[in-house]
Chain A
């Protein structure tokens, strides 16, 4: 118990000190992408649904927050909440349709919807600015406070990001989350037990997308602009990468994955032009050697609680499949 408390205190210290170690904009990116990844993991790690279209919700939230601030003068963090709201509303019909399918089919439907969102954003130029994006978004704060400094913004966004993360953790540890785990492990059995599986899946998806939209809102205010690449499929791929590298279905995995990917991207941009080689090799090594991701590999070594071990066992990768048809 004490060790656990120490762990959390250390984490809090890291979070508070981070923008003094790395550039605050990067630090804020880690928080916002960490939240996005954690929200994504509600679906991937705890419900067994691989969405390949999360860019639509993250980007949708980002564009909404940007436009609310720029056109309607909505202050931070209300505009980010607006982004969350829009992402959640988008998710109700889109995810409602997508969750009728499973496995790779679910992934492809979500991708298809995300591509449609990409198309709309690119074509609706009067609103979104097309490929140039929404630029020069004012960082308005309530009560005349100034958020202009990246450092100040980090400390403004951090509690909101942490709140989001806590919410993600609360969701997956609640009775609701346990049903999601049951769905991941055996959907048919869960249905037999009398749980309305689809309704559970939809709620999980809507929650995940809402939080993704919120992350998008926090992210866009960090940069002051949003461009088309936020809704491109590579953004969906990036968040998937973060979760895989960090550790699927682990509490801190998404955050660690986000930190690793973003730090690497930032570091490589000034260090080499061969970032593709470095990133590619890291992916290959992680997949072959540290399959459970950073946290998934480290956690069993660090935490020697019996409970923790049981936990990691269920979380160990997604269920192996004997080469039968894809679930």
Chain B
């Protein structure tokens, strides 16, 4: 029983990464109708950003946590302005292929520069070591990741549900035509929203750097799973992607305990069932399915 609780809790930490990444994807998909295949590569750039800031400028993890996502956001902004926006009135396929091409390019450039094995990145000194809570033992850094990402997810939710900017985003997501008709300049909000979604991926990358290998292929396998989570939660649903991210993380950990070989499969089984029974996803609205 104890083990199950520990594993469930631990799964939430993986879930935190899913949540941050799928949250960004969901925001982008909701507003732009772009399946951003680059999301995994931007996550990788976030991690490398932290590494480069640390090695070249001596920037600490804490500042990297702010600066690196901003840098990734700038990259995203540039990509959106120069490339993605040319394809908005076409099928989603074209932006998918474009971002896929960008992914190959970015990964390979990073490999040529840093090699495939990647670079080391230590946890911040304040968070090294482990914490014991009751019967549970956890690396301090992982607890921080969990707490921090919950704060970010709540913050995003507040931003979108409770502010005027968020209202415009929600309105443009749900009915762009009507929103335009009401005199809102929907297009003006597209670049910042894309940059924001991408920054979340960069942030996840910085958070991952101390626990995972910082290498050009990190995140390469992540995009498919993350997108599946977005679909399960309901495309464009903020709450859906966050909740599903955490739930899938926790469930995968449980499956991994008893039947490790199937841990990967879980998200796809859930997705197939959800799509067949509730096409719009768990938290999505019924339209469009």
Q: Given A277-B108, A318-B93, decide whether A101 and B289 contact each other with a Cβ distance below 8 A.
A: yes
Of A155-163, A208-216, A218-226, A319-327, the stretch lying at the interface with chain B is A319-327
What's the minimum C-beta distance from B154 to chain A, rounded to whole angstroms? 27
Of B4-12, B97-105, B248-256, the stretch lying at the interface with chain A is B97-105
Q: Given A101-B279, A112-B269, decide whether A323 and B88 contact each other with a Cβ distance below 8 A.
A: yes
Give chain B residues whose Cβ lies under 8 Å from the Cβ of A274: 108, 112
CB atoms of B100 and A105 under 8 A apart: no
Interface of chain A, main secondary structure: helix
Q: Given A111-B224, A322-B177, decide whether A280 and B101 contact each other with a Cβ distance below 8 A.
A: yes
CB atoms of B97 and A323 under 8 A apart: no
B176 interfacial contact with A, CB 8 Å: yes
Q: Residues 72-113 of chain A: 1 if any B CB is under 8 Å from the residue's CB, otherwise 0?
A: 000000000000000000000000010011111100110111
Q: Residues 274-302 of chain A: 1 if any B CB is under 8 Å from the residue's CB, otherwise 0?
A: 11110111111011100100000000000
CB atoms of A119 and B90 under 8 A apart: no
CB atoms of A280 and B103 under 8 A apart: yes
Q: Given A317-B90, A320-B90, decide whether A326 and B102 contact each other with a Cβ distance below 8 A.
A: no
Q: Residues 262-286 of chain B: 1 if any A CB is under 8 Å from the residue's CB, otherwise 0?
A: 1011001101100110010000000
CB atoms of A287 and B91 under 8 A apart: no
Residue among A101, A109, A287 with most chain B CB within 10 A: A287
Interface size on A, residues (CB 8 A): 47
CB atoms of B101 and A287 under 8 A apart: yes
**Bound form: Cα–Cα A274–B104 in Å:** 10
Q: Given A274-B108, A283-B104, A284-B102, decide whether A322 and B269 contact each other with a Cβ distance below 8 A.
A: no
**Bound form: Cα–Cα A327–B135 in Å:** 50
A116 interfacial contact with B, CB 8 Å: yes
Give chain B residues whose Cβ lies under 8 Å from the Cβ of A102: 289
Q: Given A105-B275, A287-B97, A326-B288, decide whether A233 and B105 contact each other with a Cβ distance below 8 A.
A: no
Cβ-closest 9 pairs across A and B: A283-B101, A276-B108, A280-B105, A325-B288, A280-B104, A318-B91, A112-B272, A112-B268, A115-B268
Q: B residues engaging A (CB < 8 A)?
A: 33, 35, 83, 86-94, 97-98, 100-109, 111-112, 176-177, 224, 227-228, 231, 235, 261-262, 264-265, 268-269, 271-272, 275-276, 279, 287-289
Q: A residues engaging B (CB < 8 A)?
A: 50, 97, 100-105, 108-109, 111-113, 115-116, 119, 123, 233, 237, 240-241, 244, 274-277, 279-284, 286-288, 291, 317-327
Give me 7 other A-B pairs in contact (C-beta within 8 A), A105-B275, A277-B108, A324-B176 excluded.
A112-B268, A116-B269, A119-B262, A119-B264, A276-B105, A321-B89, A323-B89
Interface pairs (15), CB distance under 8 Å = A50-B93, A109-B272, A112-B268, A112-B272, A233-B224, A275-B108, A277-B109, A277-B112, A280-B103, A284-B102, A317-B94, A321-B91, A323-B177, A325-B288, A326-B33
